[in-house]
Structures are given as C-alpha cells and as structure tokens.
Amino acid sequence: MSGLTLGPLPGLVLSWRLDPLGAFFALVIVGVSLAVTIYALGYGRHWPGRPFLGPAYLVFVASMLGVVVAGDAYTFLLAWETMSLASFALVVTDHRQAAVRSAGWVYLVMTHAATALITGAFLLLWRATGSLSFAEWAAAAPRLDPVTASAVFLLGLVGFGTKAGMIPVHVWLPRAHPVAPSHVSALMSGVMIKLGIYGILRVAFEWTAPGPAWWGVLVLLLGAGSAVLGVLYALMQHDLKRLLAYHSVENIGIILLGAGAALLARSEGQSALAAIGLTAALFHVANHAVFKALLFMGAGAVDAATGTRDLEHLGGLVKRMPATAALFLVGSAAISGLPPLNGFASEWLTFQALLVTGRGAPALWLALPPLVGGALLALTGALALACFVKAFGVGFLGLARSARAAEARETGRAELAGMAILAAACVALGLGAAPVVSALGPATAALAGSAMPAGGAVLHAQPAGVIAAGSLALPWLAVAVVALALAVPALARLAAGPVRTRVVETWACGVVPQPLNEYTSTAFAKPIRLMFRDLVRPVRDVDVIHRLGTRFVARIEYRSGVAPVFERYLYRALTDRLVATARLLRQIQNGSLQAYLAYLCAALVALLVLAR
C-alpha cells in the first residue's frame, strides 16, 4: 500500500496499512456513512443552497477512513486533524448564530488540544523507539520502560478520550453535536467519536502493552463515570439532539467499561478474559454507531418536519410521521439495551466481561471496580431506558404540543431509506450477535492475544476454566417473545371468545384532555432529577409576573436546567484563570519605550553574566 512516497519531512513517508482492528473500524465508517449519505440526499432538500454533501462532507468521511488506515504517526495526525477540521467546518454550517460559533470554537480548541496530547504521546514513543511507524511501536512495546509507557497511556487516554467524549473532557460534544446538521451529527456521534476509542485501543493494547493494573482501573472509573453522568445529563435535556449527544457520552462510557475490563484482565495475564471485554467494547462500538446515527437522523427528520428539537413542543408524531416514529422506536429500544436488539447483545457481553474480570482479579481492589462497574452499567441501562421512554414517549406519543408538531408531515423516502438501513442493522446485529463476535476474532486476537470462542448461534461468555458462565441466543429469545406475544391474544380469544373494542376520549377527570395536561419532558425526568440531585445539580428558576400590583398573577415562567458543573468548575475556572493571567502578563507590553529598553538591557546583562 505504500507505493506513494509522500511526506514533507526527510525520512518521513506517509504510509498506510489495514489490520483487523483498522478494518473493523473502516467497516463501521463505510457502513454508517453509506446510510447517512443516502439520508442526506433527501435531508439536504430542507436547506436548499447548503452544500450538505459538499467537499467538507466528503473530506470528512475520507479522513475518517484515513485515520484507521494510517500506518504511521504523521499520516495519522494528518488524517486525524483533517477529520477534525472538516467536521468543524460542518458544525459551523449555521455560523451566524453565536451559539454555533461558540460551540465550533470549543470543539476546535478542545480537539486541537487533544491532538496536542496525542502528539505528546507520539513524541514520547518516538523518543523511546526512534520511529514513527505504528508497526514498530507495537513491536517495541514490551521493551518500553514503565514510566514512559504510563505517560504515553495517560496522554493517549486523555487525548483520544477527548475525541471520544469521555467525561470530564466531553464538554465539546453536547455543544457541537446538536448544532451541526443532523446527518453530520449522525456521523460525528455515530462514527467520529469512535475513532477516539480506536486511538485508546491502539495506545493501550498495542503500543504500550502490557501495562499495570491501575490502567484498567482508571479506564473503568472513567467509563463508569461517563456512562452514569452521561445518561443523567441526557435525562435532563429537552433538546432532542442534545439529549442524543449526551447519550454518546454514556455509550462511550459503556465501551470504556468493556475496554477497561479487558485492560485489567490483560494486566493480570488473562488474555482469554481480556478477549471478552475487548469484544464487548468493539461490538458496542459498532452497535452505538448504528443506533446513534439512526437516532440522530430521526431527530433530524423531526426537526425538519416540525422546526423544533424541543421535546416540550413535540408530541403525537407517531400518527403524523408513522415510519419515522417506528424507525426511531427501533433505535430507542436498541440504545436502551433491550433484547433482542444489538444494544442488548453488546451490553450483555460487557456485563459478562466485568463479571469474569472481577472474578479473576487477584486482589479485592482490582475485583471491586469491574463488579461495581457492572452495577453502574445496570444503572446506566435502566436510566437510558427511562430517557428513551421520555424521548419517544414525549416526542412521538400523546398529543401534539405545538401547531407545527400537529401539522408535521412524514419525511422523504431517501431519509426513510437511510434510517431503515440502520434500523435493519440494529436487528441484524442483535440477532446475529454470535457470528459478529466470531468476526471480531481477528481484531481481538491481535490486541488482546486471544479471541472469544465462536459458538454458532449462541453467545458464550465462557473462558476456559469457568464451568457455568452465561450464554445468550438472541434469535431464539426473539422467536420466543414474538411467538408468545402473538399467542397471548390468540389464547385469550380461544378461551374467552371474541370481544368488541370501543374508542372513547381519554379520561382526564371529566375535561377534554389538552396538551397542557400531558406529562412534560421536564416532569417525566423529575423523579430521577430529584433522586440524583447531588450528582446532576439541577437548578430551577421560577419567575412570577404580576399584574395590577401583586394581586393577580399574569404569568409564571419556569425554567429548569442543570448546573454546568464541569464547564463552571473545571473549564470556566481554567479559562478564567488563564485569561486573568494573560491580562496580567499583557502589562509587559505597556507602551513604555523605557520599559522595552529595560527588557533589552536586562536580557543583555543576564547574558553577560551568563557568558562569563
């Protein structure tokens, strides 16, 4: 593949290679991009004159492929940053709005800072190995000294983690994803952030392997934190796309839980266990790519049809946009981890990975993180279910909460085709979980040293030496659920005879139900908001506006939200301090020629003393 000798620096030739891991990611990129492109063919009609499939989009997709086929650090960085810049260009499509510009800037700066951290990791590897070739790094990994390895790992984890949207370096993600055109959000959230995972896997499993146990523990902690906080923040959102963006944070957390378990198992030399965790992580990468792209496209269709993404103004779309609703429901069920769809399959594998890793850990402090991680994964799954009951239930069911929503029209054929492909993929990846896991064998074998055993149609989390692990045959469960669900009315009819159905108005204590009576998105999330208030720090603000003195209430305005903890206490504090320091340092250039001459004199005197 390296017939072309490109590269501006001496001895630095752009190189390409495709190994099993890269091939897996390339497949995800190509598959999802294909569906998204079909969708965008129709979606672009809503915004005439915008180059939705223009050069930036093509460069974006191509550079994502470039990232996974890059064979050396320089090629990788080129593709990596091209990907970031192209996606930035797409994010700021609506750049006249201040929020879009600010999101674009935050995104660009964070991704560039991340690139710098990645570059730092690469520089350390270069110092240690004298090469920029990924293959040579992998070959030299066992000889890497532990301090360098840990530094590389940490730099890579934070750098790639930023792209992946790992908490606490996630803040760009919920800003940038909602403001981008939806097909771009779909690609960014579905595919691009996964390349952060790609990088983490390369760093942790190939270039620095094998590391100490605390790496795995750290990744587990970050994964659990991202998963739980991500889903909690998602629950607090009313903007459908922002909600989906926070779910990306959550799912990255789930992927990291699998990867962390694998890292931990590998540090203990148990490659058979590591294979389960890694398979779970990779499988979830593909699954999240599929259903998150599907959901973002659905949100885009809703946005285009109703002009809003605010759940409080949606509702009733299941009747106005039945196909979109059905496809969105498939995505919702998949992301909520419901059998027999793909989300359940990979989460089940993650549970198993956490369990077997905890079981196999040699010490209590190494066993507890994966096991508690499993519990937090359960919490995440249940909260995700709550969130998508909210998203689908409030957004698509019940009564329309706004005129635009009441008059929404079904989206176009191209959009539906794009979504249908991915919805079908959700089902296929779930039912075909066992063959998918077998197909992931080469990639896991390359990274973890062994692959999960292929088990025909049944998925076995059964590492050697464990007698009774779990197994899962989603096709059969699906058959059972469907058969029994169909049998229930048949049996009831058989036993009790036919009955008639009457259609009447919903009971609302005697009045005709109004959209105002419906449970809102805010109200739906309230129990969870209160239960987890110490974590998410909700804020609310009630303004009572009076008329005629204080006797008559004209209007009550209620605003609620979540305190931006990370933004306020981490980033805002950091940037404020930076800017304050910068303002202070700007006194250097105080306009006084005398001061400038004094600097010159001071430099001269210092050098004179130094040269002595």
Partner 1 sequence: MTLALLAAPLLAALGCLALPRAAAWASSLGALATLGLGFAVAAGTFGGTARYEAGGYVYLDALSGLIVLIVALVGAAAALRSPAYLAREVAHGTIPPTQPRWYYVWLQLSLFAMLAVPLLDNLGLMWVAVEATTVTTALLVGFYRRGHALEAAWKYLVLCTAGIAIALFGVLLTYYAAVHVLPDEAAALSWAALRANAAHLDPELMKLAFALVLVGYGTKAGLAPMHTWLPDAHGQAPAPVSALLSGALLSCALYAVLRYHLLAVGAVGGTYSADLLLLFGALSIAVAVPFVLVQHDLKRLFAYSSVEHIGIVALGVGVGGRLGLFAAAFHLFNHAVAKSMLFLAAGAIGQRYGTLRLARLRGVAEAMPLEGVVLLAGTLAIAGSPPFAPFASELGIALAGFAGRPAAVAASVVLVTGTVLIFGGMLYHVIQVTLRAAPANLAPATPLPFGWAFLALPLAALLVGGIWLPPFLTDAFTAVGAVLEGSTP
Partner 2 sequence: MIEAGALAAAQLALLIAIAPGVNGLIKTLKARLQGRRGPHPLQPYRELWKLLRKDTVVSARASWVTRAAPLVYAGAIATAALLVPALWIPAPLGGWGDALALVGLFALARFALALAGLDQGSAFGGMGSSREVAVAALAEPALVLALFAVALRTGGTDLSATAATLAALGPAAITPGQLLALAAVAIVIAAETGRVPVDNPDTHLELTMIHEGMLLEYAGRPLGILVWATLLKQTVLFALLIAAFFPWGIAATGGGVPRAAAAFGAKLLCLAIGVALAESSQAKLRIFKVPELMGAAFLLALLAVVTDLVLA
Partner 3 sequence: MTGPAVVDALALALLGLALLGVATRGLVASVRILAVQSAALALVAATVALDSGAPHMWAAFALTVAVRTIAVPTVLLRVLRAVELRRETRPLLSTRSALLISIGLSLVAFLATGRLHLPGAFPSQHALAVSLALMLVGLLLMITRRKAISQVIGLITIENGIFLAGLIATLGLPLFVEIGVFLDLLVGVAVMAVFTLRINERFDTLNTDLLRKLRG
Site for partner 1 in 125-184 (CB under 8 A): 126-127, 130, 132
Task: Write down the least CB distance from residue 252 to partner 1, Å.
Answer: 23
- Phi, psi angles (nearest 5°) of residue 507: -75, 120
530 binds partner 2 (CB under 8 A): yes
- Supply the DSSP symbol for 92: G
| Side chain identity at residue 234, one-letter code | A
Does 506 engage in binding with partner 2 (CB under 8 A)? yes
Helix pair 342-360, 322-335: axis angle to 10 deg: 10
584 binds partner 3 (CB under 8 A): no
Q: Which stretch binds partner 1 (CB under 8 A): 3-11, 42-50, 267-275, 395-403?
A: 3-11
Task: Considering the complex, state which of residue 180 and residue 472 has its C-beta at the smaller distance from partner 2.
Answer: 472
Where does this chain touch partner 3 (CB under 8 A) — which range of 141-149, 155-163, 501-509, 585-593?
Answer: 585-593
- Exposure string of 259-280, with b = 16+ CB inside 10 Å and e = fewer, is bbbbbbbbbbebbbbbbbbbbb
Q: Which of 78, 255, 293, 525 binds partner 1 (CB under 8 A)?
A: 78
- 496 part of the interface to partner 2, by CB under 8 A: yes
Contact call for residue 591 and partner 3 (CB under 8 A): yes
For residue 504, give every residue at least 6 positions away whose Cβ sits within 8 Å of its Cβ, in sequence order, or none: none
Nearest CB to partner 2, comparing residues 178 and 463: 463
Which residue, 116, 284, 257, 290, is CA-closest to 189?
A: 290
Q: Which is nearer to partner 3, 516 or 588 (CB)?
A: 588
CA distances to 134, 209, 258, 496 from 145, rounded to whole Å, are 17, 11, 26, 75
Q: Please, which residue, 1 or 609, has the CB nearer to partner 3?
A: 609
Q: How far apart, in Å, do the first and last CA atoms of the chain sit?
A: 57
Give the position of tokens 């139900």: 513
Binding status of residue 605 toward partner 3 by CB under 8 A: yes
Dist CA 431 CA 457 (whole Å)? 9
The secondary structure element, H or E, covering residue 346 is: helix 342-360
C-alpha angle 473/423/48, rounded to 5°? 165
* Site for partner 1 contains 13 (CB under 8 A): no
Q: Which two tokens stand for residue 106?
A: 């935050």
594 touches partner 3 by CB under 8 A:
yes
How far is residue 545's CA from residue 334's CA, in Å, rounded to a whole number? 44
Count of positions (residues) in the chain: 612
Of the two residues 36 and 261, which places its CB atom closer to partner 2 in the complex? 261
User: Binding marks (x or -) toward partner 3, 152..191, rule CB under 8 A?
Assistant: ----------------------------------------
The nearer residue to partner 3, 479 or 600, going by C-beta atoms, is 600
Residue 242 contacts residue 262 (beta carbons within 8 Å): no
Identity of the residue numbered 381: G
**Binding of partner 2 by 399 (CB under 8 A):** yes
Q: How many residues bind partner 1 (CB under 8 A)?
A: 59
Torsion of CA 119, 123, 125, 131, to 10 degrees: 110
- Report the C-alpha gap between 195 and 33 in whole angstroms: 14
What CA–CA distance (Å, rounded) separates 281 from 528? 28
| Residue 530 interaction partner, one of partner 2, partner 1, partner 3, none, beta carbon < 5-8 Å per kind | partner 2
- Applying CB under 8 A, which part among 37-45, 68-76, 510-518, 580-588 lies near partner 2? 510-518
Bond preceding residue 210 cis, omega within 30 of 0: yes
Tell whether residue 392 is a contact of partner 2 (CB under 8 A): yes
Q: What is the CA radius of gyration of the chain?
A: 26
Place of tokens 């951290």: 117
By the rule CB under 8 A, 593 interacts with partner 3: yes
Residues 567-596 touching partner 1, rule: CB under 8 A, are 578-579, 581-586, 588-589, 593, 595-596
Half-sphere exposure of residue 303, counting CA atoms within 13 Å on the CB side?
24
Binding-residue total with partner 3 (CB under 8 A) = 17
Q: CB under 5 to 8 A by kind: which of partner 1, partner 3, partner 2, none does 58 bind?
A: none
Q: Which of 108, 195, 366, 447 binds partner 1 (CB under 8 A)?
A: 108
Among 3, 10, 489, 498, binds partner 1 (CB under 8 A): 10
- List the one residue from 81, 239, 268, 303 that touches partner 1 (CB under 8 A): 81
Query: Per rule CB under 8 A, is residue 115 in the interface with partner 1?
Result: yes
**Nearest one of 576, 460, 28 to 282, comparing CA atoms:** 28
Minimum distance from CB of 582 to partner 1 (Å)?
4
Q: Which of 520, 90, 94, 42 is nearest to 301 (CA)?
A: 42
The CA distance from 455 to 433, in Å, is 10
Given the complex with partner 3, which of 574 and 598 has the nearer CB atom? 598
Q: Which CB, 80 or 348, lies closer to partner 2?
A: 348
Query: Where on the chain is the footprint of partner 1 (CB under 8 A)?
Result: 6-12, 14, 74, 77-78, 80-82, 85, 92, 95-96, 98, 101, 104-105, 108-109, 112-113, 115-116, 119-120, 123-124, 126-127, 130, 132, 578-579, 581-586, 588-589, 593, 595-597, 599-600, 602-604, 607-608, 610-611
Query: Where on the chain is the footprint of partner 3 (CB under 8 A)?
Result: 586, 589-594, 597-598, 600-601, 604-605, 608-609, 611-612
